[in-house]
């Protein structure tokens, strides 16, 4: 197995491995924890084999909002057709932060990719947090933030977004999740402190006024999407990409109008979020 880091902060490409081979998993999982996002190249797997590989990371979360694969409900179809303009997940976010116990990882198996474009951007939330001043870190450690999915998947979003109107996003009546998580979390596997707010799902900071919360969140979104904390990942048919939702953000780069892009997505359940403050 060859592992090639993509940047100095996160991301790695893995080649010369077959994910169906049980003995390969330990090293793949180690790379996943170390790099936050891994792209395993040239995998020829069936939906059943993708499901079996995903189950090695943990139990599968069956997504309510994205179109399910007709034969495998564990797999969501993330499709953008040539004539569609919006892509799913265009702004920086972490998947499922609106859940009481958010998912640990997400996995995309690329079925069809545009000739150029359609990459995914990732950002390291441990590096972004680590680059802040000690005073700002201490301030953030004492805060918690509200997360919701109503404005992204719910009725208000239904009126607004092409992805809801053309049937790629379903079940808006189920988008009622609202939770509070610490702004800084302790990663369950690496033990690192990570920023845990994101532009899509975080609505406000509990302990601050509306104006203070808005200013702080805008600052954090700008800071944590700085290019020095990011990597950009190219998809190709057969690539299996897996990322850690507690240590990274991601964004789907929508620069491929006129091309079809098809992904088979699986989400893995996580463990309860831990605050970085000692109990």
Q: How far is the CB of 122 from Fe ion (least distance, A)?
A: 11
Q: Which residue, 172 or 248, is less far from Fe ion as judged by CB?
A: 248
Q: How far is the CB of 5 from Fe ion (least distance, A)?
A: 23
Q: Which residue, 120 or 127, is less far from Fe ion as judged by CB?
A: 120
Q: How far is the CB of 89 from Fe ion (least distance, A)?
A: 4
Short-list 184, 193, 185, CA closest to 274: 185
Footprint of Fe ion on residues 197-256 (CB under 5 A)? none
Candidates 14, 36, 63, 89; binder of Fe ion (CB under 5 A) is: 89
For residue 202, how far is the Cα from the chain centroid?
A: 14
Q: Answer yes or no: 279 catalytic.
A: no
The region of 28-36, 38-46, 88-96, 229-237 touching Fe ion under the rule CB under 5 A is 88-96
The region of 8-16, 89-97, 129-137, 155-163 touching Fe ion under the rule CB under 5 A is 89-97
Instruction: Evaluate whether 53 touches 105 at the Cβ level (below 8 Å).
Output: no
3-state DSSP assignment of residue 210? helix
Retrieve residue 192's tokens: 């690192």
Q: Does 102 bind Fe ion (CB under 5 A)?
A: no
CA distances from 274 to 35, 87, 96, 101, 241 (A): 20, 32, 16, 10, 25
> What is the number of helices (H) and of strands (E) in the chain?
8, 16
Q: Which residue, 17 or 60, is less far from Fe ion as judged by CB?
A: 60
Q: Does 95 bind Fe ion (CB under 5 A)?
A: yes
Cα–Cα distance measured from residue 175 to residue 133, given in angstroms and rounded to the nearest whole number: 36
Q: How far is the CB of 252 from Fe ion (least distance, A)?
A: 7
**b vs e for 196-233, b when ≥16 Cβ sit within 10 Å of the residue's Cβ?**
bbbbbbbebbeeeeeeebeebbeebbeebbeeebbbeb
Q: Answer yes or no: 95 catalytic.
A: yes
Retrieve residue 219's tokens: 């600052």
Size of the site for Fe ion (CB under 5 A): 2
Tell me the per-residue interface mask from 43 to 82 with Fe ion, x by CB under 5 A, - otherwise. Answer: ----------------------------------------
- Tell me which of 95, 99, 200, 244 is the catalytic residue: 95
Q: Active-site residues: which are they? A: 93, 95, 250, 265
What are the residues binding Fe ion (CB under 5 A)? 89, 95
């Amino acid at each position: 197995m060859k592992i090639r880091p993509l940047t100095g902060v996160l991301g790695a490409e893995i080649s010369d491995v077959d994910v169906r081979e049980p003995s390969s998993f330990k090293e793949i999982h180690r790379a996943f924890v170390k790099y936050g996002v891994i792209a395993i190249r040239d995998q020829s797997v069936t939906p059943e084999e993708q499901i079996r590989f995903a189950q090695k990371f943990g139990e599968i979360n069956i997504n309510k909002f994205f179109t399910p694969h007709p034969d495998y409900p564990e797999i969501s179809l993330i499709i953008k057709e040539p004539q569609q303009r919006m892509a799913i997940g265009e702004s920086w976010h972490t998947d499922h932060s609106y859940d009481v116990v958010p998912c640990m990882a997400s996995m995309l198996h690329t079925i069809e990719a545009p000739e150029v474009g359609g990459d995914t951007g990732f950002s390291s939330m441990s590096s972004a947090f680590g680059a802040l001043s000690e005073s700002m870190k201490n301030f953030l450690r004492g805060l918690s933030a509200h997360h919701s999915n109503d404005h992204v998947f719910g009725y208000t979003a239904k009126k607004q977004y092409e992805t809801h109107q053309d049937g790629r996003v379903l079940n808006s009546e189920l988008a009622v999740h609202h939770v509070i998580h610490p702004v800084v979390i302790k990663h369950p596997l690496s033990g690192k402190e990570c920023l845990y707010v994101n532009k899509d799902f975080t609505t406000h900071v509990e302990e601050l006024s509306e104006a203070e919360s808005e200013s702080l969140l805008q600052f954090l979104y700008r800071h944590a999407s700085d290019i020095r904390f990011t990597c950009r990942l190219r998809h190709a048919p057969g690539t299996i990409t897996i990322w850690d939702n507690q240590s990274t953000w991601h964004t789907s780069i929508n620069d491929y109008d006129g091309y079809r892009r098809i992904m088979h997505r699986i989400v893995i359940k996580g463990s309860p979020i831990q605050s970085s403050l000692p109990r």
